[in-house]
Amino acid sequence: MVHGLSDVQTENIGEGTSIWQFCVVLPGAVIGKNCNICSHCFIENKVKIGDNVTIKCGVQIWDGITVEDNVFIGPNVTFCNDRHPVSRNKNYVLEGVTVKKGAMIGAGSVILPGVTIGENAVVAAGSVVTKDVPANTRYLVKVGAK
């Protein structure tokens, strides 16, 4: 299902996937089956999203990002693919991000370029991920926790 108020330019969408209103998906993107792409998301060209992935509202998936099967990405997660962004820099170095199978990324997290989030890893809401997160681990930020 592609909502009528979205702009989906790719034909590479698996069966059973829902893309909700106000999403933009560029022509080169590949999205697997049974995914749920919530409203206000942007998916660039050089992106691969596996099967059974949930991407909550307000997430941008930029070129070079791979999301494997059964991943949950919380609302307003920010991915980065350029370590030294400069406006109109035609010579930037694209550094992808890989999110492995079964990983979960909490709301408002920031994932920096070149990072791999391992299989079944959990990234807590509000985290800033600057290095790889090993499989089956929890990357927790507890500022002000009681």
CA-based angle 89:100:85, to the nearest 5? 15
pLDDT-derived band of residue 85, with 50, 70 and 90 as boundaries?
Answer: confident
Taking only the tens place, the pLDDT of each residue in 102-142 is 999 999 999 999 999 999 999 999 999 999 999 999 876 65
Burial 2-41 (b: 16+ CB within 10 A, else e): beeebebebeebbeebebbeebbbbeebbbbebbbbbebb
Q: Residues 6 or more apart from 7 whose CB is under 8 A from it? A: 23, 24, 25
Taking only the tens place, the pLDDT of each residue in 8-39 is 999 999 999 999 999 999 999 999 999 999 99
**What's the whole-model pTM score?**
0.92
Active-site residues, by number, are 84
